[in-house]
Amino acid sequence: MRASLVRCFTTVVVAASLTLPAIAATQLTGAGSSFDYPFFSKAFYIYSAKNPDVTVNYQSIGSGGGIQQFTAKNVDFGATDVPMNAAELARAGQPVLQIPVALGGAAVAYNVPGVSATIRLTRQVLVDIYLGKVLKWNDPQIAKLNHGVNLPDMPIVVVHRSDGSGTSYIFTDFLSRVSAEWKTKVGVGKSVSWPAPSAIGAKGNEGVAGQIRSTPGAIGYVELAYVIENKMPAAILQNRAGKWVGCTPENVAAAAATKPEVSPTNFSITDAAGAGSYPISGYSWVVVYKKPSDATRAKALYDVLSWLVGPQGQSNAKSIDYVPLPVNVQNAASATLRQMQR
């Protein structure tokens, strides 16, 4: 009952997509994370070009909706920025495989008038900004990290995602790892109660980016691909190893490579060890049933997904500024996928 509204709506949407004339022999459907959408669109388009008998229809309705549609068996696979937890798996009613499929990072973008140099921030200062303890750009804590930069006497405006998002999850996960205070006071989630007195919520990556651009003194976290494509200035962060790292695909991949044994219960790669690791990084996941009911569709689904997590599928990520999975994670993902009955 509790979710029947959303279920009704999305069922109609998905059902409508299913009843479209089937041009190809097999049409697979998926639903979920909007973060994955650009990557999936490109990758599945290329896959269908090579394998005309299979098309994949992906509905970008958000991770929560994706899990619901998957649990209701309205779609062949779901995609989510945070793996399904125990309660969600129990609701699915049968064994589920969760496969890391894409990597992302959150860049810390800012708008500080008169500063052309790239601003450097330690993990602790970033937490203190988001906790509302560091309130001005010329705070000694920021100034001592940025010698020679003329920081203005300007209040910091903290911008965050107002819509539930995997990017917020990764960012708050990072803050929780760095600060015990954040962990107890705020916590980790796709939507949290932001403590900074100047906190402003904006919808979507484009909303946060727009808010930052139009607000002098603003700071906020934005999805890596979005920052690269829009050439926004982003802070250099100090990682756990004490090295200064920018938010680049290489540094995000380096963080992922430190932990090849990633699993749905132990998946966080924020604040990773390693000299090159960018500290605000995370995976996105695809969920499938271990024993799908329809053998033909299962075979097609397995082929698509094993192509997607393999080197060919992942090479599409790079061309649209997504971060390809490191080779060791690709291998682990393929191994998990092979458990699928087909």
Q: Which spans of this chain sit near other proteins (rule: CB under 8 A)? A: 1-6, 61-65, 67, 88, 155, 157, 162-165, 186-194, 198-203, 207, 210-211, 214-215
Nearest-approach distance from CB 272 to other proteins, in angstroms: 23
Helix/strand/coil (H/E/C) assignment for every residue in 294-328: CHHHHHHHHHHHHHHHCHHHHHHHHHCCCECCCHH
Residue 213, phi then psi, degrees to nearest 5? -60, -35
Dist. CA 323–CA 64, nearest whole Å: 23
Tell whether the torsion through CA atoms of 248, 59, 207 and 319 is positive or negative.
positive
Within 10 A of 81 (CB to CB), how many other CB atoms are there?
27
The residues with which 218 forms a beta bridge, in sequence order, are 111, 157
Q: For the chain, how are helix, strand and coil distributed in percent, rounded to 5?
A: 40, 20, 40
* Least Cβ distance, residue 342 to other proteins (angstroms): 29
Closest to other proteins by CB, 163 vs 303, is 163
Specify the residue, 92 or 200, whose C-beta has the smaller distance to other proteins: 200
Give the nearest distance from C-beta 209 to other proteins in angstroms: 10
In the bound state with other proteins, the residue whose beta carbon lies nearer, of 202 and 253, is 202
Residue closer to other proteins (CB basis): 186 or 253: 186
Q: How far is the CB of 66 from other proteins (least distance, A)?
A: 9
Residue closer to other proteins by CB (options 26, 211) is 211
Question: What string of H, E and C letters represents the secondary structure of 131-148?
Answer: HCCCCECCCHHHHCCCCC
SS3 286: strand
Considering the complex, what minimum distance in angstroms separates the CB of residue 210 from other proteins? Answer: 5
